Amino acid sequence: MAGISRDDVANLARLARIDMTPAELDHLASELGVILNAVARVQEVAGQNVPPTSHPLPLQNVYRKDEVVPSLTPEAALSAAPASEAQRFKVPKILGEEA
C-alpha cells in the first residue's frame, strides 16, 4: 500500500475546494495514509466476477410527467443568499473559464 503524500492531499484539497494550512496538509496526509491502509482491504475480495452494487434497491425507470409545478418566489429563492442584487445571487468575481 503506497502512502499518500502531502502534495497528494494538496491536490485533493484543491479539487474539493478546501483551503488548508501546511500543518493541516501534513496531519491529513498521515491520517489518510492510515485510513487508506485500513480500507484498501476491500481489494482482497473485489474480484473480476463480482458485479458492483451502486444502489441497494433494484428500482428502475422512475419518472415524473412533464408537468410544470409552481416554483419558489424569487424572494424565497434568494432568501438565504449571502448577497443579492437585481433579483440575482451576487457572488465574487468568477475566475474560471467562460461558460
Partner 1 sequence: MIIKRNAADMAAALANGETTSVALTQAHLDRIAEVDKDVHAFLYVDTEGALAQAALADQKRAAGKKLSPLAGIPLALKDVMVQKGIPTTCGSKMLEGWRPPYDSTVVSKLRAADVVILGKTNMDEFAMGSSTENSAYGPTHNPWDLSRIPGGSGGGSSASLAAFEAPLAIGTDTGGSIRQPAAVTGTVGVKPTYGGVSRYGLVAFSSSLDQAGPCGRTVLDTALLHETIAGHDPKDSTSINATVPAIVIAAKNGNVKGLKIGVIKELQGEGYQAGVLNRFNESLELLAGLGAEIIEVSCSYFEYALAAYYLIAPSECSSNLARFDAMRYGIRVGDKSGVSAEEVMNLTREVGFGREVKRRIILGTYALSSGYYDAYYGSAQKVRTLIKQDFDNAFTKTDVLVSPTAPTTAFKIGEKADDPIAMYLNDIATIPVNMAGICGMSLPSGLADEDNLPAGFQIMAPAMKDDRLYNVGAALESALLSKWGAPILSHVSGLGARA
Partner 2 sequence: MSLKYEDVIAKYEPVLGLEVHVELGTASKMFCGCNTIFGAEPNTQTCPVCLGLPGALPVVNEKAIEYTIMIGLALNCSIAPFSRFARKNYFYPDMPKNFQTSQYDEPICVNGFLDVEIDSNEGIKKFRVEVERVHMEEDTGKSLHVGGATGRIHGADYSLLDYNRAGIPLVEIVTKIVPGTGKYAPEVARAYVAELRDILRSLNVSDVKMEQGSLRCDANVSLRLIGSDVLGTRSETKNVNSLRSVERAVRGEMIRHAELLNKGERVVQETRHFQEDTGLTRSGRSKEQAEDYRYFPEPDLVPIVPDATWIETMRAALPEKPSIHRKRLQEAWAVPDKEMASMINADVLEIVEATVILGADPTKARGWWLGEIARIANEKEVAATDLPITPKDVAEIVALVATGDLTDKLARQVIEAVIAGEGRPSEVIEKRGIKVVSDDGALMAAIKKAISTQPDVAEKVRGGNVPAAGALIGAVMKETKGQADAAKVRELLLKHLGQ
Which spans of this chain sit near partner 2 (rule: CB under 8 A)? 11, 14-15, 17, 54-55, 57, 59-74, 77-78, 85-99
**Residue 85, binding choice from partner 2, partner 1, none, Cβ under 5 to 8 Å by partner class:** partner 2
Q: Residue 32 interacts with partner 1 (CB under 8 A)?
A: yes
* Secondary structure letter of residue 84 according to DSSP: E
**Residue 23, binding choice from partner 1, partner 2, none, Cβ under 5 to 8 Å by partner class:** none
Alpha-carbon span 2 to 73, nearest angstrom: 52
Grid coordinates representing 11 are 491536490
Closer residue to partner 2 in complex, CB, 30/77:
77
Q: How far is the CB of 85 from partner 2 (least distance, A)?
A: 6
Alpha-carbon span 74 to 85, nearest angstrom: 12
Amino acid at 98: E
Alpha-carbon span 79 to 70, nearest angstrom: 17
Closer residue to partner 2 in complex, CB, 7/31:
7
**Residue 68, binding choice from partner 1, partner 2, none, Cβ under 5 to 8 Å by partner class:** partner 2
Q: Taking a C-beta distance cutoff of 8 angstroms, is the pair 2, 32 a contact?
A: no
